[in-house]
């Protein structure tokens, strides 16, 4: 199975998605440092939000086979620059979270992830596990460039 690293703003659902992928109950906890698990690396939102910490993202992405850009469907703007995936020498996928929220706009989040350069995009509700198995199946597949 390929290893994935998640990047995204604070509160976008990275840690809850990690818990869902690992079969754990969803409990809120603030990720304070880079957390390595069997097939996933969880990062604090500040690493994507604060320029001086962003260098750590580049360093830790080398420990993964796939980079997952996580974007909440409730975000008022995208943190990701257009074509940012071109700067990474790993497969980059987009993950839209919080799709069940009353103010969610998953199509807008998808468009932002496509603009960033993501070719493969998953829609996830980590509390009901909707879409979680799709990500796990993708990580298990040998042909990642579907």
Does the pLDDT value for residue 138 go beyond 50?
yes
Mean pLDDT of 39-57: 75
pLDDT tens, residue by residue, 18-42? 989 988 777 776 766 677 788 898 8
Domain ranges of the chain: 4-140
Which residues touch 76 (CB under 8 Å, ≥6 apart)?
A: none
Which residues touch 28 (CB under 8 Å, ≥6 apart)?
A: 15, 16
Polymer length of the chain: 146
Q: How many CB atoms lie within 10 A of CB 107?
A: 10
Mean pLDDT of 44-72: 79
Helix (H) / strand (E) containing 17:
helix 14-21
Q: What is the pTM of this model?
A: 0.88
pLDDT tens, residue by residue, 5-17? 999 999 899 899 9
23-32, 38-47, 110-119: which is most confident: 110-119
Residue 137 or 25, more confident: 137
Does the pLDDT value for residue 99 go beyond 80?
yes
Closest C-alpha to 5, from 102, 122, 117, 95? 95
Fold (CATH) for 4-140: Rossmann fold (3.40.50)
Which residues touch 112 (CB under 8 Å, ≥6 apart)?
A: 71, 75, 78, 80
Confidence of residue 132 (pLDDT cuts 50, 70, 90): very high
Mean pLDDT of 49-60: 69
């Amino acid at each position: 199975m390929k290893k994935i690293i998640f990047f995204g703003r604070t509160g976008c659902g990275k840690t809850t998605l990690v818990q869902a992928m690992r079969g754990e109950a969803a409990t809120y906890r603030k990720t304070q440092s880079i957390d390595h698990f069997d097939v996933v690396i969880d990062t604090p939102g500040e690493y994507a939000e604060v320029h001086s910490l962003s260098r750590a993202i580049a360093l830790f992405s080398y420990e993964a086979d796939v980079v997952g850009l996580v974007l909440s469907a409730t975000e008022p703007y995208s943190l990701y620059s257009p074509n940012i995936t071109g700067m990474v020498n790993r497969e980059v996928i987009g993950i839209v979270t919080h799709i069940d929220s009353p103010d969610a706009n998953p199509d807008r989040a998808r468009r932002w992830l496509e603009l960033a350069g993501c070719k493969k995009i998953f829609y996830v509700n980590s509390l009901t596990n909707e879409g979680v198995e799709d990500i796990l199946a993708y990580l298990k597949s040998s042909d990642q460039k579907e």
